Homo-oligomer: A and B are copies of this chain.
């Protein structure tokens, strides 16, 4: 019985052919190409092999290597959405650290749907990735948004979840310090003299938004300001509903003079709804957003900046640690945030507008 592969397209040159061409054994080729230490190779042989490989355009097969050595040096990063500064920076941070450690990171797009996400994980594991980073979609109101990761974790796969700590009981989690960030934002408003401060969040449910609310509460408490739940909007909504809702908010006795918003887009919506009703920002209504997306800069929006690249790097570091110490209990790491003050809370000189992102970066 001969194995007949004639019907298959020969895909590439293999190390046997290199060996033949160089007049050495396959093992020698392997020694040379992998620079295996503890193996001495004569300079002459080495050169012969190198030349042969070059001439034949030999390309090592990582699959075969992975099968044999049971090591692929690949990590997968799963995300349901990639289109924001946040995701892009996080991804870059993750890649940076993992690459430096000899890993290659593949980003995998998966629909925001637990069965599909589970299927994606299964596929990645069939490809024998050594670890999985998941960037949660913080906007989705579900506890344990990454429950579908649990089986992988329990089988000993190194995993890390970004931007959702509600799975912190079983998997390493990295979040920006949303409590501190929110507190910072609200303390900023308080320091400007505001006492009636509203909380406005477009979504509600993930740990991320819960933390931002918690930070809001803490800041008020620390300042001795009574919390008025009438000032807190905690529901998914859209631009049209926001306008209606905002009217209701501002019609109460003793209405808010400032809003802390759970996201930049919520802040933008609130801002425009307010301006449409004739209010001036920041004089009549001060507004703070969250995330400091690019557009916060050219909409002059005060916002809490998450150190997103650092979040990515922290996730990668945790993953590498996990690979080394599979049995260590799961860790939740919080990455510090900054407050970027702009004209939606404090009137700014015009020149501040010159600090916008350069049009040469990013996509047109």
Contact = CB atoms under 8 A, between A and B. Distances in A.
A91 B109 contact: yes
Work out how many copies of this chain go into the complex.
2
Nearest to A107: B107
Interface residues of A, number: 83
Nearest to A262: B364
Contact of A86 (B95, B266, B268, B363): B363
A219 to B, nearest CB: 19
A252 interface: no
Contacts of A108: 105-107
A14 to B, nearest CB: 10
Contacts of A88: 81-84, 87
Secondary structure call for the A interface: mixed
B290 A272 contact: no
B266 A359 contact: yes
A343 to B, nearest CB: 11
A271 to B, nearest CB: 9
A239 B276 CA distance: 28
Interface string A184-221: 00000000000000000011000011000000000000
A67 B63 contact: yes
A105 to B, nearest CB: 7
Contacts of A291: 363-364
A199 to B, nearest CB: 14
Interface in A18-43: none
B240 A139 contact: no
Given A106-B106, A354-B239, A138 B82 contact: no
A30 B105 CA distance: 30
Given A9-B70, A359-B265, A363-B84, A239 B126 contact: no
A245 interface: no
B59 A67 contact: no
Q: Which of A67, A82, A266 has the most CB of B within 10 A?
A: A82
22 contacts: A61-B67, A63-B63, A81-B361, A81-B362, A82-B87, A83-B362, A84-B363, A105-B108, A106-B106, A139-B363, A236-B359, A236-B360, A240-B354, A263-B364, A265-B359, A265-B364, A266-B364, A268-B298, A269-B298, A291-B363, A291-B364, A295-B298
- The 10 tightest CB contacts between A and B, nearest first, are A83-B88, A263-B364, A202-B359, A107-B107, A295-B295, A84-B363, A106-B106, A240-B354, A239-B356, A82-B88
Given A139-B364, A209-B364, A276-B350, 13 more contacts: A59-B125, A67-B67, A82-B91, A83-B83, A107-B109, A138-B364, A236-B359, A238-B359, A243-B354, A263-B359, A264-B364, A265-B357, A293-B363
